[in-house]
């Protein structure tokens, strides 16, 4: 299941290495969250009548593939070549390194197979799964807890965005958006508390995942939109 909250936070820290590279940092952070957009496809297939397990199987396939990452980079490289604008090359590099960081983190932080070589995986060879021989006690509880913390991570990410916006030299250009992020992070914290309560109430895992996806999709979209709108604050 999607974990873009932790990817957003981890990318913030990793991107400090590249803080002086204009266009790169915001693209890196955006790319670190982007692969989980495939949860939209999972949701659509579920709404169309596919069972929950087949719907979830769409997740961590084509958007988490090394081949997809290479194609994205080649597209931006081509745009840079055609337009003679070097910024598109930097954007492509940032996006693809962000996506790569997402994939690597998913391999270690989630207990499900990942199709790193989609479409070769899972159709010709088995997906990558370093946890397949590991038996975890209370696995469902751990998964629920990780998912609940996604909303807290989004809340922290929003707080970081607000602080970076306040500190930017061009605050007038972005101040209008702060009120929306402020409302968003309050919602995210409320969702975190709700999902912790659901864990306490021992809600069935399938029901939990469906409710999670319903709340997570708008959270992820807001995180991506916020990153794009405030992309220039990462250059200060």
Q: Does 24 or 195 have the greater pLDDT score? A: 195
Task: List phi, psi (to 5°) of 186.
Answer: -65, -40
Is the full-model pTM beyond 0.95?
Answer: no
Q: Which DSSP string do the residues of 23-45 spell out, in sequence order?
A: THHHHHHHHHHGGGGGHHHHHHH
For 104, the domain range is: 4-235
Per cent of the chain over pLDDT 70 is 91
Q: How far apart are CA 152 and CA 215, in angstroms?
A: 13
Query: What's the pLDDT score for residue 13?
Result: 79
Each residue's pLDDT tens digit, 128-186 = 777 677 776 777 888 899 899 999 999 999 999 998 888 877 777 788 889 999 999 99
What's the structural domain count of the chain? 1
212: Cα within 13 Å, side-chain hemisphere = 30
Residues 61-86: what's their mean pLDDT? 91
Q: 172-226: per-residue pLDDT in tens?
A: 778 888 999 999 999 999 999 999 999 999 999 889 988 998 999 999 999 999 9
Phi, psi at 82, each rounded to 5°: -70, -40
Specify which residues 128 forms β-bridges with: 114
pLDDT at 156: 94
Task: Return the higher-pLDDT residue of 171 and 98.
Answer: 98
67: DSSP letter: H
């Amino acid at each position: 299941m999607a974990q873009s909250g932790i990817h957003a936070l981890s990318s913030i820290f990793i991107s400090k290495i590249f803080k002086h590279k204009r266009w790169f940092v915001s693209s890196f952070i955006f790319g670190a969250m982007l692969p989980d957009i495939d949860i939209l496809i999972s949701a659509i297939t579920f709404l169309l009548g596919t069972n929950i397990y087949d719907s979830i199987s769409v997740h961590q396939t084509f958007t988490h593939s090394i081949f997809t990452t290479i194609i994205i980079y080649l597209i931006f490289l081509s745009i840079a070549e055609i337009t003679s604008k070097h910024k598109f090359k930097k954007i492509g590099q940032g996006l693809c390194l962000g996506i790569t960081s997402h994939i690597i983190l998913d391999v270690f932080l989630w207990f499900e197979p990942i199709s790193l070589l989609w479409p070769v995986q899972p159709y010709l060879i088995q997906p990558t799964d370093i946890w397949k021989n590991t038996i975890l006690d209370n696995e469902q509880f751990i998964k629920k807890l990780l998912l609940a913390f996604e909303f807290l991570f989004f809340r922290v990410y929003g707080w970081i965005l607000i602080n970076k916006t306040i500190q930017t030299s061009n605050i007038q250009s972005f101040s209008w958006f702060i009120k929306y992020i402020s409302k968003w992070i309050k919602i995210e914290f409320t969702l975190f508390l709700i999902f912790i309560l659901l864990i306490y109430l021992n809600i069935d895992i399938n029901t939990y995942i469906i409710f999670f996806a319903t709340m997570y999709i708008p959270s992820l979209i807001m995180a991506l939109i916020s990153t794009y709108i405030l992309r220039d604050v990462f250059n200060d």
